[in-house]
Structure formats: C-alpha cells, structure tokens
Amino acid sequence: MRLSYHGANFLGWQRQAEGRTVQASLESALATWLRSEVEVLGVGRTDSGVHALNYIAHCDTNSVVDCSEMVYRMNRFLPDDLVLFEAVPVTMDFHARFSAVSRAYQYRIQRSKVVFGRDTSWQLDRTMNVQLLHQMAESIIGTHHFGAFERSGSAPTNGMCSISHAQWNVLGEDLLFEIEGSRFLRNMVRALVGTMIEQAIADRGMDDWETLRQSQKRSDSGPSAPAQGLTFAGAAFAECLFDGREKPQFIPKR
C-alpha cells in the first residue's frame, strides 16, 4: 500500500494502548472492509506530529482482494487525514520494513510569518549562514557514526548510517532539507536539522560542526527541530513496487 497522512492529530505511526495512530487507523479500516483482523506493517516509525507524503505499508490476508476496489473502499473508511493512493500484490517474502533499501525524509522551514503551512513547517524568522547549512549537509553524505543525533535513552545501537543524499534547498522564503539513507536512528533527522540550524544561526563554522558531529554524544549537539516540519518522503526497494512512485522526489541540485 502507498499512502499519505497528515500527522498533526496522530500519535505517530505505531499502534499504542491508547491514542490515535496511523497503524491502528489502517487496521481498523481493513478489518471493517475484510471483516477480519489484519495486521499492517510499515516501512518505518514516525513520531507524534510527523507527516508522510509517500509511505509504504503491507499486510497479509487470506481474503481475495481486488486492489482497485481496495483503494476505493478503504478511502471511504479512512479518516480525512489519511489517504490510500494505490495497492499492489507482493510476494510472501516482502516486508515493508525489512525489504526497504533506503528511506527519505524532508524538513521544511518557513522564514517569514505566514498563514498557510504552519502545521507542516517550522516557523523560524532568524538570520543564518545558509552556505554553512549546505556545507554541513554535504559533510554527512557517506557512512558515519550519528550517535550525536540519536535520542537520549535510546536502546544501544552501533550508530552507523549510510547517507546517500543530504541537501538544503532555498525555495523563496522557505528552506527545505532532504535526506536519504539506509537507516536512521531515533529522532536523528530532527536532531540533525535542529543542530544544523543552531550552528548556522551562531555561524560557528565547519570546524566546530565536525568536532560536534564526531563526538558521538547527544549532549554535544543542539535541540531537536519541531515535529510538524518533518515529513516521510518515500522509500526505495530492490524491486519497484509502483513504477518508482514509492521513491522520494528530490529537488535537482543547482
């Protein structure tokens, strides 16, 4: 399933004992349509308030499913802030999470006071060194340890992530950060954005950034950017699921 959701009124992707989540909403709609309980598994977790432009999930069912009818019926049952774009059958060994070879996010910052888009961006009217933002983004491409940007108290991991794309885009008054990688640590993208913005506002330079990044300590980095500016942008798999529509659409580098 390829879908999208506005995360403002969801407590994230993952089903919880209490509270509204994307996973639970999908499972409820499927159960109503199929008249049987179905578990839905997603390509990755998103936190409370985080959005998804192009998200992939899968479910296993013994029911005979017409995918076109599924999309039509499901959208009648789903809430207004969650939409199913399309669905295709997959092999039994497919898994939305474990079959993904990369995932991508985007983070939007609006640098002037606006009426529209406040719920999907960080409102930040501050002077900053945009060229430094570009340099910091370029420095994280490749395989590095990102322990300095992992949520404190997270279960121990090796901290290594391979980043294939990281880029800041200047779009009029807006800034848009794009990032794609093989994996992401908990809260990593928001911590990266918050720290890069803090560095750029203070204009601390690349030496300070490299020292911070290589420290591997979350206490050395900056605050996490607000959740509402973050959007899951897409994922890549070994085999295309939707003729490539599941992949993120990046802005060409100028």
Q: Does 225 have pLDDT greater than 80? A: yes
pLDDT tens for 63-76 read 889 999 999 999 99
Is the predicted pLDDT of residue 156 greater than 60, yes or no?
A: no
**Mean pLDDT of the 92-101 span:** 95
Contact indicator for 212, 200 with CB cutoff of 8 Å: no
pLDDT at 61 over 70: yes
**pTM listed for this prediction:** 0.94
State yes or no: pLDDT of 41 exceeds 80.
yes
Kindly give, in sequence order, each residue whose CB lies less than 8 Å from that of residue 97, ignoring residues fewer than 6 positions away. Answer: 41, 42, 43, 44
Average pLDDT score over residue span 201-210: 95
pLDDT of residue 139 exceeding 90: yes
Helix (H) or strand (E) holding 72: helix 67-77
**47 is an active site residue:** yes
Q: Which residue ranges form the domains of the chain, and what is each CATH number?
A: 2-86 (3.30.70.580), 104-233 (3.30.70.660)
Does residue 3 contact residue 82 with C-beta atoms inside 8 Å?
yes
